[in-house]
Every structure is written in C-alpha cells, then in structure tokens.
Amino acid sequence: MATTQKLPSRLHHTAYVVTDLERTRKFYEDIIGLPLLATWCESDMLFGAERTYCHVFFGLADGGALAFFQFARAQDQELFGPKMPHTPFHHIALKVEQDVQAGIEQRLRAAGYAEPDMYVLEHGYCRSLYVVDPDGMIVEFTLDHPEVEKINAARRADAHAELARWLAGDHSSNNLFR
C-alpha cells in the first residue's frame, strides 16, 4: 500500500522527564556531545494544576532535538516521571556516522561506562551502540550498513508480505545480513 500523502519532514524533538537536569546536561552535552540549544523555564496550567518546570533541548545535526523536563515540585516530578521500563525495547535511536559513533564510544568508556550500561550489537544491517542514560533511558547510536539503500529498498518492497507472514505464525528470521 503506497502512500501519496506528505510525510512529516523530520523529528522535531522527543521529550522525557528526568530527575536531575544538570546530570542530564553533563551526559548529553559533555559525554555524548549534543549541544544545549535552549532552556525554557515555565509555569502552565496542565491537567488541573499549575505546573512549574524547566525544559531543555539538545541539538541534532538535522535540526531535531532531544528534550528533557524537570519539575519544581516533588509531587509533579513523581506524577510525570521518569518511569523508564527496564527493557531494551523502549529506547531512542539516533543515526550516526562511523567517526561519531567511535567518538561517543570512546568518551563513554573514558567516563567509566561498561556493560551492562553500554554495549554494542551487530545487527547486520547496522551496528548499534547502546547506553543507559542517568535516568535509565536507553539511547542507541546507529551506524548504517554501507549498503543501507539497497537493504532498505529490499525491506520496503516486502514489508507488508513479511508482516503478514510473521502475524500468520511464521517467525523465521528474514535478516540475511547477520
């Protein structure tokens, strides 16, 4: 099923609640290397109460951002998070080039990160560096396979058929790149 409607142009930002914005800043800016672009300190009437919070944005090369909130009141902080599930299947993935991934991995190791808080998976179609941030969110830095366009075209061509096959009970792997 091909779509002709216009798609969103890029990710604007993701947003998460954290417990300590300075600790978050040190991780994302000083270790990972994402620049702090904006800090918004606000109070709004939200969900039946006045909520006071700080909202920070760390920049990505395409103009998107990772954003984080911290609330002034302990009650709001408890109500809204962070509540990161303990699973690697809830994470954010950022596309990187090889030198960027190597630099992030080097800085993480220098900062004392090791398994299980940092690990690499060779997926075949990409190489992924995973790290757990200070509030338990997993961030993936993904380096695409050199033949990513060819791989993506193949997966796009059979995406519906492969989903139908899997849903029908055939759970065999279609990853020929591992």
pLDDT grade for 82, boundaries at 50, 70 and 90: confident
Please state, rounded to an integer, the average pLDDT across all residues of the chain.
Answer: 90
pLDDT at 27: 96
- pLDDT of residue 56 exceeding 90: yes
Domain ranges in the chain? Answer: 13-144
Q: Which CATH architecture has domain 13-144?
A: Roll (3.10)
For 61-74, what is the mean pLDDT?
Answer: 93
Contact assessment for residue 144 and residue 95, using Cβ atoms and an 8 Å cutoff: yes
pLDDT at 166: 85
pLDDT grade for 1, boundaries at 50, 70 and 90: low
- Which pTM value belongs to this model? 0.81
